Amino acid sequence: MNNYIVGTCGHIDHGKTALIKALNGFEGDTTKEEKQRGITIDLSFSNISNGSSNIAFIDVPGHEKLVKNMIAGAFSFDCVMIVVSASEKIMPQTTEHLQILSLLGVKNAILTITKKDLVEENMLPKIKEEIEEYVKEYGFNLLFSTAVSIYDEASIEELRDKLFSLNANTKIEENFFRYYIDRVFSSPGAGTIVTGTVLGRPIKVNDKLFICDIKKEAKIKNLQVHGEDCELSNISNRTAINLSGINSNLLKRGYVLSQKGYLRGFDTIDISFNCLKKKELKHNQKYSIFIGSKKIEGKVLLFNSTDSLQSGFAMIKSDSPIFSVYKEKLIIRQGNDTIAGAIVLNPIMDPMKKSQKLQLLEALEDEDISKAYEILTHAHKKGLGLISSAQRFALSHEKALEYALKLKDTFIDEKSLILYPMQTKELIKNSIKNIYNKNQFALLSVASIQLRMKWASESFIQTVLEELSQENFLQKDGNLFKSANIVEDFKTKLENIVLKRLENENLTPTAPYNIYDDLDLDRKMGDNILKALCAKKAVVRLQHNLFIHAQSLSNIVLEMKNIIKNQGYIDISNFKEKYPLSRKYLVTYLDYLDNFSQIKKDGNKRVFSSEII
C-alpha cells in the first residue's frame, strides 16, 4: 500500500482546513477556542484512502504566532500542499512557511490555489503562473498545480484523483525505530495514547519501546493507523500508540520514542546551518530550537566567529538532552522570527580538540564517512564503539564494520565492535609490562587484565599478550601469562607468598580479591591457591570472603577461651575490649567458637559447657 504524508502550508484564512474538509469530510477545528476564533490553533490529522493508496493529512495553523505548532507537524511531511487564496495570492505567512519547509528539506510540493470562485476565470492562469514562479524560488519540486473551490465538487474531485496518482513517500528505512510524540492523552478503558509519525523502522503490537526523555520502557498494547486497529505500523504512517506501563502525565509533545540502546541524549550537538536572507546567527546567543515536534531553548556557539555568521558550523548547547540522529533537520528561531535551518552533523558529543572537531564536521558535511571514522578513531584512543554508528552515521552494524575494515593503522575488535588506533597497543603493552616489572610473580589472564583496563577489549589485550610472549617477555601457562624470567617452582612460590601475606595480616585478613589484585594474580588462579592452602590446613576458610592463617586462628581461639575462663563468658563487648577489631571479625570468630563441643551459647554470650571444669 502506498502511504505518504501531505502537510498543508499557507497564510491564515486561505482555506487550508476547509480544503481538507472538502477532500475527506474531516473537521479540523474542533476545540472551543478554534471555533470561537475561527482559526486553526494546533495540528489536526486526517486521511483519505482508495484501497491501494492512503494519504495522511497534517493541517497546520497559518497564524504568525503559531509557527511553532506548524514546525511540529512539518518535520514529518513527505509532500507539502501549498495553499494560496486566488484573491489574496502570496501573503507573509505563506512566505514564512515556504522558508521553514525549504530549511527542513521538504522538496515535494503541490500548489493548490483556493477560492477560485472569487476571481474571474480568465485571471486564473496568470495567478497560477505568478505563484508557481514564486514557489520555485524556494527550490521545491512542484509535482502539479491546480485551482479549486470548496463549492465546486468537480475541482475537489480532480485534486483528490491527482493526489492518489502520486507516490511522494520520501522516508527511508533506518537502523532503528524513532517517533516524536505530537499529542498525548488518556482514554477511558485504554489508558495512555500518543500520536506521531513512524520513522526509521516499522513497529508492531507487543513491541517494547523506550521513552528516551524519561528513560522508561513501555509496551505497545495497541496500534491504530487512521482509526483502524492494526498489528503493524510502517514508516511514514501517522500512528496512535496505546502504551501500557506508563502514565500519560509523564509524557509530553516532543518526547522521543525508540528502542532501548539506540539513542543517547546529549546537551550539546554540532550542526551545519544556513540563515534566511538578511539574517545571521550570533555567537553565544540563546535561540529556540525546533527538532521533530520538540522545542528546546539552547545557546548557539559558532565555530569560526565570535560575532555572527550567515552560514557555517555551530554547537548547540541545550538546557535539556537532545536525542537526534545524523542529518536530522532543525529550525532555529528567536521570538517570532525564523532565523536559520540546520542539519545535525554530530549528534554524539566527543571530547576532542577544536581542530579535530572542524575536520570531523567538514567530513560529515561532505558525507565522507571513512574520513570521519579516521578522525574519531584517533580522537578516541581508548576505543570507539561501532554500536554508536546507528545514531552517529545512520549506519547498520554491518555497514559500520565494512567502513572500519578499510581503515589503516587501526585495531578492529569485530566481536565487541570497537575500534582502536594502533598506537593504543603500546599503551596496553606498557601497562602490562609495568605490572610484571613491579611483580615478577604476577600471573594474569586476559580477563584479569581487562578488569584493570576496562576500556580495552579482551581481543585487543589477547593480541598484546601474544606479542609479549613472542618477544619472550611473558610465557603462556594455559590461559595465564607469567614472566618468562621465572624458572623456579612458580605455583609453590605463589602459595608461599599468599600464605605469608595471611600470616602478616593475622586477625584482620583482607578479602581474597584484594589480595589477588595486590599480588597481580588472576582470580581463578588465586582461588586455586587458597583451595590448595586450605587442603593443606595451612589456611582456614571462615566465610565466603574470609580466609585466615591457621596459626592465627588457633591463637585467637585460645585467647577467647581464656576470656571465658577469666570472666565466665565471652560476648562482643568484652571480646572487643581486649581485641578492638571490626564487628565483622568479632562476630566471625565468636561464631567459629560454636564448632567446639566445650562451648555453648547462652543468649548473646558463649560459656563453657557444664561438664567443663
Evaluate if residue 40 carries a pLDDT over 50: no
Give dist(CA 306, CA 260) in Å, integer.
Answer: 39
Predicted pLDDT at 61: 66
Judged by average pLDDT, the poorest of 2-6, 461-465, 471-475, 533-537 is: 2-6
Q: pLDDT band at 1, cuts 50/70/90?
A: low
Same domain, 65 and 199: no
- Percent of the chain past pLDDT 70, that is, above it, reads 94
Evaluate if residue 384 carries a pLDDT over 80: yes
What's the CATH number where 202 sits? 2.40.30.10
Same domain, 202 and 99: no
Same domain, 362 and 341: no
pLDDT tens per residue, range 252-270: 999 999 999 899 999 999 9
Task: Assess if residue 314 is contained within a domain.
Answer: yes
Structural domain span for residue 576: 488-613
- For 480-595, list the strands marked E by DSSP: 480-483, 539-543, 546-549
CB 86 within 8 A of CB 116: yes
Q: pLDDT band at 93, cuts 50/70/90?
A: confident
Evaluate if residue 548 carries a pLDDT over 70: yes
Tell the residue number behind the cell numbers 489536526, with chain if given: 44
Same domain, 594 and 520: yes
Question: Average model confidence (pLDDT) for the chain?
Answer: 88
Task: Assess if residue 215 is contained within a domain.
Answer: yes
Q: What is the mean pLDDT of residues 138-153?
A: 90
Evaluate if residue 185 carries a pLDDT over 60: yes
Task: Assess if residue 83 is contained within a domain.
Answer: yes
Same domain, 25 and 141: yes
Same domain, 436 and 529: no
Predicted pLDDT at 452: 87
pLDDT tens per residue, range 322-337: 999 999 999 898 988 8
Rg (CA), the chain: 36
Grid coordinates of 292: 521533530
Same domain, 254 and 312: no
Q: Buried b vs exposed e over 228-253: b needs ≥16 C-beta within 10 Å? A: eeeeebbbbbbbbbbbeebeeeebeb
Q: What is the mean pLDDT of residues 242-258?
A: 94
Q: pLDDT band at 360, cuts 50/70/90?
A: very high
Task: Assess if residue 174 is contained within a domain.
Answer: no
Of 380, 405, 421, the residue that ends a domain is 421
Same domain, 109 and 251: no
What's the CATH number where 514 sits? 1.10.10.10
Evaluate if residue 246 carries a pLDDT over 70: yes
Predicted pLDDT at 189: 84
The pTM of this model reads: 0.76
> In this structure, are strands 208-211 and 418-421 parallel, antiparallel, or unpaired?
unpaired
Same domain, 155 and 17: yes
Q: What is the mean pLDDT of residues 171-186?
A: 87
Q: pLDDT band at 67, cuts 50/70/90?
A: low
Evaluate if residue 68 carries a pLDDT over 70: no
Task: Assess if residue 580 is contained within a domain.
Answer: yes
Cα 353 to the chain's mean position, in Å? 23
φ, ψ of residue 21 in degrees (nearest 5): -65, -40
DSSP 147-216: E--TT-HHHHHHHHHHHHT---------SS-BEE--EEEEETTTEEEEEEE-BSS-EETT-EEEETTTTE
- The amino acid at 314: A
Of 346, 376, 409, the residue that ends a domain is 346
Q: What is the mean pLDDT of residues 144-151?
A: 91
Q: What is the mean pLDDT of residues 166-181?
A: 83
Judged by average pLDDT, the poorest of 5-19, 42-56, 318-332 is: 42-56
The helix (run of H) or strand (run of E) holding residue 564 is helix 550-567
Higher pLDDT, 204 or 173: 204
Predicted pLDDT at 34: 39
Predicted pLDDT at 30: 46
Q: What is the mean pLDDT of residues 427-434?
A: 93
CB 245 within 8 A of CB 258: no
Same domain, 475 and 492: no
Judged by average pLDDT, the poorest of 4-18, 285-299, 366-380 is: 4-18
Evaluate if residue 294 carries a pLDDT over 50: yes
Nearest to 294 by CA among 316, 273, 272: 316
Of 210, 236, 258, the residue that ends a domain is 258
Nearest to 589 by CA among 602, 535, 599: 599
Q: What is the mean pLDDT of residues 23-47?
A: 57
Task: Assess if residue 170 is contained within a domain.
Answer: no
Evaluate if residue 611 carries a pLDDT over 70: no
Q: What is the mean pLDDT of residues 568-589?
A: 92
Evaluate if residue 128 carries a pLDDT over 70: yes
Q: pLDDT band at 2, cuts 50/70/90?
A: low
Q: What is the mean pLDDT of residues 593-604?
A: 88
Evaluate if residue 402 carries a pLDDT over 60: yes
Evaluate if residue 32 carries a pLDDT over 50: no
Number of domains in the chain: 6
Same domain, 336 and 400: no
Task: Assess if residue 169 is contained within a domain.
Answer: no
Same domain, 402 and 416: yes
What's the CATH number where 65 sits? 3.40.50.300
Predicted pLDDT at 60: 74
